[in-house]
């Protein structure tokens, strides 16, 4: 194909769904037509089903435009809000439809849809672009959690590998089902200007006999948060709180608690998928979580209504000195100040710091019913390649490759550079979601337990024990237990 014929892109936006209030976006990406008869590549259309928000569509669509320009292949992208996307993915695949060639899959969906996806190991072996696939460049924990499953038992934990290798995966009986495109981890945004204030540093040193530093443990974090919870304008009312939490009965609360649970050495399930959250580690994790709200009162009073959205607003408008979320929160310009980032705290065990922040990822998977599987794989390989991932940095995209995080350390913005360092470190120690087909039901049961404790309806032990009994029943219904 003559490259001069594809220097310009013709991009057609179809925003009718937005006008209807659904938040959907259909976008056709196509190269400008050459003067001569269109080639086969120019007649071809790859259809992609993607997220309109959570998985960083701006960066990925930008890369699709480049790919279309280079190959002459037209790409039609349908980007949907999370719930609509999940519903459409499940519906399309369950009906065996090949409408979409490439699909964005959130990790907890994988056990439900894996039978409808194309295994990728053979495509990776036969790749014509080894520099684009480079499995050993992916962050191992991200790749294994997002993409590696055993086809006959998707609940099985992937092999433990320090570096991703195809042989290490397939020799253990596992297969690759997607390529990671975006990953989030729970991190802490903080008011660096407050931490560096000479006045606050002197006051903290006088009160606690140590320097005001970034907290590493939950105890240190609570102490710093208590210090910053105060009345700053002298009207007798607290207007600055030490931290935020996601206390609403919501998925955000489940993964919030799960991060505490992991960091206390607890687990949601044991190796036989028996509930384990009611353990002493689970009780201690929940009591610590609740103490920040009800005992120390270092969170805003309406924290039981917070999800990740409300946390962002509270931090943005300067109402919290520290805040936990899945992106780099920033301050409103009217607030002023400077933002820094650090890793989710943990607990000390045997002289080692144990951290377990929640993380989750999106993968690009090939629809098993697609008639263009090889071309869909080529696009997925390109979109997740080291070169493309480095290009995503300008969009503040949460990349999945080690080389992209190394490249991020050359970003001129020191705050963003720090965030990428913290995000990369967090992904290396993060803990993903359980690999179960009834994830949403289990999450809902745990959310209820946490909420019942936070509102004083039950003790931590009773709330978690009751949740464990409910989860045990759910697992039995889903076929994980025979009796």
Q: What does the pLDDT look like over 348-390, one tens digit per residue?
A: 999 999 999 999 999 999 999 999 999 999 999 999 999 999 9
Q: What does the pLDDT look like over 188-205, one tens digit per residue?
A: 999 999 999 999 999 999
Q: What is the pLDDT of residue 23?
A: 61
The helix (run of H) or strand (run of E) holding residue 166 is helix 166-170
Task: Name residue, tokens 């435009």.
Answer: 65
Task: Name residue, tokens 């609940």.
Answer: 155
Return the CA Rg of the chain.
24
Closest residue by Cα to residue 6 from 26, 30, 24: 30
Q: What does the pLDDT look like over 238-247, one tens digit per residue?
A: 999 999 999 9
What is the average pLDDT across 259-284? 97
The chain-wide mean pLDDT, for the chain, equals 92
Compute the C-alpha angle 64/67/73, nearest 5°.
Answer: 100
Q: What is the pLDDT of residue 2?
A: 35
Beta-carbon contacts of 139 under 8 Å, excluding residues fewer than 6 positions away, are 183, 400, 401, 402, 405, 424, 427, 428
For residue 423, the SS3 value is helix
User: Percentage of the chain surpassing pLDDT 90?
Assistant: 90
Q: What does the pLDDT look like over 222-236, one tens digit per residue?
A: 999 999 999 999 999
Tokens describing residue 247: 């206390």
CA distance 253 to 450: 8
Q: At what angle do helices 198-208 and 218-228 cross, to 10 degrees?
A: 120
Cβ atoms within 10 Å of 280's Cβ, excluding its own: 11
**Residue 412 predicted with pLDDT over 50:** yes
Beta-carbon contacts of 76 under 8 Å, excluding residues fewer than 6 positions away, are 26, 27, 28, 29, 45, 46, 47, 48
CA 219 to chain centre: 26
What is the average pLDDT across 298-326? 98
Q: What is the pLDDT of residue 29?
A: 74
3-state helix, strand, coil in the chain (%, to 5): 45, 20, 35
What is the average pLDDT across 316-330? 98
Q: What is the pLDDT of residue 25?
A: 65
What is the average pLDDT across 150-163? 95
Q: What does the pLDDT look like over 92-110, one tens digit per residue?
A: 999 999 999 999 999 999 9
**Residue 84 predicted with pLDDT over 70:** yes
42 falls in which pLDDT band (50, 70, 90)?
Answer: low
Tokens describing residue 69: 């320009």
32-46, 138-152, 311-325: segment of lowest average pLDDT: 32-46
**Residue 5 predicted with pLDDT over 60:** no
Cβ atoms within 10 Å of 128's Cβ, excluding its own: 8
The helix (run of H) or strand (run of E) holding residue 144 is helix 140-147
- Asked whether the whole model's pTM tops 0.85, one would answer yes
The helix (run of H) or strand (run of E) holding residue 45 is strand 45-51
Q: What does the pLDDT look like over 31-40, one tens digit per residue?
A: 655 443 355 4
User: Percentage of the chain surpassing pLDDT 70?
Assistant: 92
Q: What is the pLDDT of residue 26?
A: 72
Spatial contact of 75 and 68, defined as CB atoms under 8 Å apart? yes
């Amino acid at each position: 194909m003559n490259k001069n014929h594809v220097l310009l892109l013709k991009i057609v936006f179809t925003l009718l769904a937005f006008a209807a209030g659904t938040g959907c976006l259909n976008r056709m990406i196509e190269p400008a037509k050459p003067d001569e008869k269109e080639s086969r590549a120019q007649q071809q259309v790859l259809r992609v089903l993607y997220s309109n928000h959570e998985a960083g569509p701006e960066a990925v669509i930008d890369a699709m435009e480049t790919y279309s320009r280079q190959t002459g292949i037209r790409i039609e992208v349908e980007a949907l809000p999370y719930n609509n996307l999940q519903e459409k993915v499940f519906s399309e695949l369950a009906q065996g439809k090949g409408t979409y060639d490439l699909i964005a899959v959130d990790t907890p969906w994988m056990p439900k849809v894996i039978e409808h996806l194309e295994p990728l190991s053979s495509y990776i072996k036969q790749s014509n672009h080894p520099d684009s696939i480079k499995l050993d460049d992916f962050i191992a924990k991200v790749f294994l959690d997002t993409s590696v499953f055993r086809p006959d038992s998707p609940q099985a934990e992937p092999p433990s590998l320090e570096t991703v290798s195809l042989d290490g995966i397939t020799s253990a009986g596992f297969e690759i089902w997607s390529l990671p495109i975006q990953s989030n981890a729970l991190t802490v945004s903080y008011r660096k200007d407050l931490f560096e204030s000479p006045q606050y540093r002197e006051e903290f040193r006088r009160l606690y006999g140590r320097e005001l530093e970034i907290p590493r443990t939950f105890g240190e974090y609570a102490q710093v948060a208590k210090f910053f919870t105060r009345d700053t304008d002298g009207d007798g009312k607290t207007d600055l709180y030490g931290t935020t939490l996601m206390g609403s009965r919501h998925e955000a609360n489940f993964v919030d608690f799960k991060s505490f649970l992991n960091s206390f050495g607890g687990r949601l399930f044991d190796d036989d998928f028996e509930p384990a959250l009611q353990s002493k580690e689970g009780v201690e994790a929940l009591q610590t979580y609740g103490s920040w709200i009800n005992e120390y009162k270092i969170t805003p009073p309406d924290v039981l209504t917070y999800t990740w959205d409300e946390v962002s607003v509270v931090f943005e408008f300067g109402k919290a000195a520290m805040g936990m979320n899945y992106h780099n929160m920033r301050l409103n310009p009217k607030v002023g100040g400077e933002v820094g980032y650090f890793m989710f705290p943990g607990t000390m065990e045997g002289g080692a710091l144990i951290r377990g922040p929640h993380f989750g990822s999106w993968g690009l998977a090939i629809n098993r019913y697609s008639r263009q599987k090889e071309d869909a794989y080529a696009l997925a390989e390109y979109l997740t390649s080291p070169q493309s991932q480095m290009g995503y940095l300008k969009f503040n995209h949460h990349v999945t490759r080690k080389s992209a995080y190394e490249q991020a350390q050359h970003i001129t913005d020191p705050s963003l550079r720090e965030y990428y360092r913290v995000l990369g470190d967090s992904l290396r120690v993060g803990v993903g979601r359980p690999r179960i087909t009834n994830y949403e039901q289990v999450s809902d049961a745990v959310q209820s337990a946490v909420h019942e404790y936070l509102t004083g309806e039950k003790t931590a032990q009773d709330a978690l024990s009751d949740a464990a009994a409910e989860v045990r029943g759910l697992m039995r219904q889903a076929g994980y237990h025979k009796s």
